[in-house]
A and B are shown apart, each in its own frame.
Chain A
Amino acid sequence: MSNSNKSLAQLKEGETGTIEGFNNEKLSLKLLEMGCLPGCEVRMKYKAPLGDPVCVCVCGYDLSLRLDEAAVIQLKNKKIS
């Protein structure tokens, strides 16, 4: 088991995770509004050519956000799948 939680920014292209919570309250408000809710599944679709921003699929649509914004989203520890 890993001891620290993964954030959305650490996902590789094509990987999926489940949102657990946020580590920045101000940004979390915006992200919640955009449908990034705890318990929601989020998939890293692709990254911009320079690695930042990234495009994720959440709540059934494509959302673009910067890496430092993605790092705010904490993911649940995944069981080995």
Chain B
Amino acid sequence: MSESFPKIALLGNPNAGKSSLFNLLTGLSQKIGNFAGVTVDKKVGTFKATTQEEFEILDLPGTYSIYPKSFDEKVVFDVLTDTKNIDYPDYLLVVADASNLRRNLLLFSQLADLEFPILLVLTMNDVALANGQSVNEEKLGQLLGVRVIKINSRTNEGIDQLKTSIQHKEFKVPNKLYDYKFVAPEIVESIPQIVPNANGYKALLLAHHFESMSTLSSLQKSEIQQLLDKVEFNSKTKQARETIKRYEAINTIVDEVIISLNKTKAQNYTDLLDKIFTHKIGGYLSFLIILFLVFQAIFSWASYPMDLIDKAIGLLTGLINQTFGSGPLVRLVTEGLISGLGGVLIFVPQIALLFLFIAVLEESGYMARVMFIMDKIMRQFGMSGRSIVPLVSGVACAVPAIMATRNIDSTKDRLITIFVTPLISCSARIPVFTVLIAMIVPSKLIFGIFNLQGLALMGCYTMGFLAALFTAFVLKKILKTSETSYFIMELPSYKLPRVKNIWYTIVEKVKTFVLDAGKVIIAISVVLWVLASYGPGDALQKAELEAINQAQSSQITYTDLQLLIESKKLEASYAGQFGKFIEPSIRPMGFDWKIGIALITSFAAREVFVGTMSTIYSIGQGEENNDTIIKKMKAEIRSGTNKPMYDLPLSLSLLVFYTFAMQCMSTLAVTYRETKNVTWPLLQLVYMTGLAYVSSTIIYQLLS
């Protein structure tokens, strides 16, 4: 057999259980790609019926109808209406929620009119049963003219039957449910003369959407426009009429196939839980409690695997150094490549944990309620209820948070959310904040319970949060969009999350991060390493000699000498030179060239600031060194004066800088990955760093 297997596209309403079915059929063979020209993710997997027979399964975004209302839905339209599209399927597997059959059959009826061979899968039969209803699938199959299979992805009921049916290709072109031609007979007849192959229902769809279709020539478009003008085609009225007529046809069918079980409705947990989760006080309170538990878990659990990754990278580096010595090439591998890889892997535990919780909350149906109670607040700032998940996740790490903006269907809302999320203080800022706060704020209790340093830390978080809201508010005014932002969404009934779905979500998110953002991070790490390890000409050797000479005049130990050499070398490196070069421009903020070096190296990740400071001040890298750094930095004298360098103005200025500045290449990489556009990460970099620069300068100049 040839390389190309029959292509099956998986379609259905959102929340109908499409992803569960996709996971069941394809397992870990899933691959994530892109649909041509758009940022929508494309998930493809392989279903192995036998060792010889395989099917390629394409998971299309959930949609309520073939008439696109968002970019996700546009993809569905594009794939199904263009026979030349590389994703054009041979068969359709349509998933419908049995507890909500009417609404789910709308999409089916449209797909039927496109004359695809279809197999219909009914999910949520247990939910329907709990509502006292059952669907007669035989009857439904007869009326629709397709094979109907009931499944339960929790118990795997019906899955084997479905697999056999797919293997035997039991896909059938459904019966005509209603006559779409009556909507606009002239159109259906004339369009095929303008666009060959656009027969039947496709002709009608073309009349509605030709303007946004890239497959049509401008001549074809103008011809269609002329035709529409001639028959006074009103797209909206026609669409509304079509939908109403379709529902009429569907209602007759549904009335025949639904069996009422005449039993009292089972206790409705959804209504009960909604009383709590959407309550005026209870709603917000339960959200805060859940948030608190999630962050506790992330901060306490993620540190173990993160330490392990750190140790493993250290071990690997040591092993390579022992085996191959420490030549320049080896150092490039260990200190550039491998430490860059470590910088990527270190995020994995946080990403995995965060998406574990997001997936659980989403699968259970709770997330929709959070969006529901937060929507009005978020709307004031140009976002929607859907932005709440990324913003809150940003407290842990902006990288998974930005990846979580996928479910925001309005492009404008999504871009604003991506843009402002890095302003929310993430966990990588904590080490920097801790050192700087310790320098200016005494560790004292006020009112007997509040730790002063803790309050200062909270201040930094508040500052970031306010900046995010302010920025969003400004962007809301600037950004223009033709897309309407809807909040018309289903509030799904509460369900127990499925372990398998959660696992696949985690694997997918981690894979996307490591493969896509990872490349950028490693590349920048290598560049930064080169900058910090090499200098112009023999500058580094000179620096080493100078350190040795200096050491001879004052008796110091061997370890201290090594630290002194490292410090002098860093000063002489390109990074050091660059730090000195930018000193004039960072002086308004009160920074000197030493901080300049730290700014450059900590562009990789904010927490590197502390490490670089220890190198500059010749302190051995390692744990329990915070106190030493703080002591050394406190003792530093501003050159040309006899005042301490790290006084209140400078420390505050640095704190503000690290709160606002875009000192994180991983975030930039992931913004690029999610927007598929260099402009957004660049704007983010310029805006955040600019905001940091201006704020720090004002603070320093006012206070000093």
Contacts and interface: CB of A to CB of B under 8 A. Distances in A.
Interface string A37-66: 110000001101111110100011111111
B239 A29 contact: yes
A1 B665 CA distance: 66
A55 B491 contact: yes
A32 B489 contact: no
Given A29-B67, A49-B284, A55-B274, A69 B244 contact: no
Given A25-B237, A31-B488, A60 B243 contact: no
Contacts of B281: 49
A49 B283 contact: yes
Taking each of A33, A49, A63, which has the highest tally of chain B beta carbons within 10 Å of its own beta carbon?
A33
A34 B103 contact: yes
A28 interface: yes
A26 B236 contact: yes
B103 A59 contact: yes
A46 B106 CA distance: 27
Contact of B486 (A30, A35, A37, A49): A30
A35 B103 contact: yes
B297 to A, nearest CB: 26
A61 B278 contact: no
Tell me what chain B mostly uses at the interface: helix, strand, loop, or mixed: helix
Interface string B261-289: 00000000011001100111101100000
A45 B103 CA distance: 19
A30 B488 contact: yes
Contact of B489 (A45, A48, A49, A63): A63
B368 interface: yes
Given A49-B279, A49-B280, A49-B373, A61 B100 contact: yes
Given A26-B236, A48-B375, A61 B487 contact: no
A69 B486 contact: yes
A60 B488 contact: no
Nearest to B270: A62
A71 B376 CA distance: 16
The interface size bin for chain B is: 35 or more
Contact of A29 (B240, B283, B385): B240
B102 interface: yes
A52 B376 contact: yes
A48 B385 CA distance: 11
A64 B370 CA distance: 12
A66 B102 contact: no
B243 A69 contact: no
B240 A65 contact: no
B194 to A, nearest CB: 25
Given A30-B486, A33-B106, A50-B377, A55 B278 contact: yes
A49 B280 CA distance: 4
- Majority-rule SS of A interface residues: mixed
A46 B273 CA distance: 13
B193 interface: no
Interface string B97-108: 001101100100
Interface string B229-258: 000000011011001100100000000000
B109 to A, nearest CB: 12
B373 A48 contact: yes
A26 B487 CA distance: 14
A76 to B, nearest CB: 16
Contacts of A69: 486-488
Contacts of B283: 49
Contacts of A60: 99-100, 102, 131
B656 to A, nearest CB: 32
Contacts of B487: 53, 64-66, 69
Given A49-B278, A49-B279, A35 B375 contact: no
Contacts of B247: 32, 35, 37
B372 interface: yes
A33 B185 CA distance: 23
A33 B64 contact: yes
A29 B373 CA distance: 25
A65 B243 contact: no
A38 to B, nearest CB: 7
B511 interface: no
A61 B489 contact: no
Contacts of B99: 60-61
Given A28-B240, A69-B487, A33 B65 contact: yes
Contacts of A25: 236-237, 240
Contacts of A45: 271, 274
Given A61-B103, A64-B488, A69-B488, A52 B243 contact: no
B581 to A, nearest CB: 52
A13 B271 CA distance: 14
Contacts of A64: 368, 372, 487-491
Closest 3 CB pairs of A and B: A62-B491, A35-B103, A32-B243
14 contacts: A27-B484, A30-B486, A45-B274, A53-B385, A55-B274, A55-B491, A60-B100, A60-B131, A61-B99, A61-B100, A61-B490, A64-B488, A69-B487, A69-B488
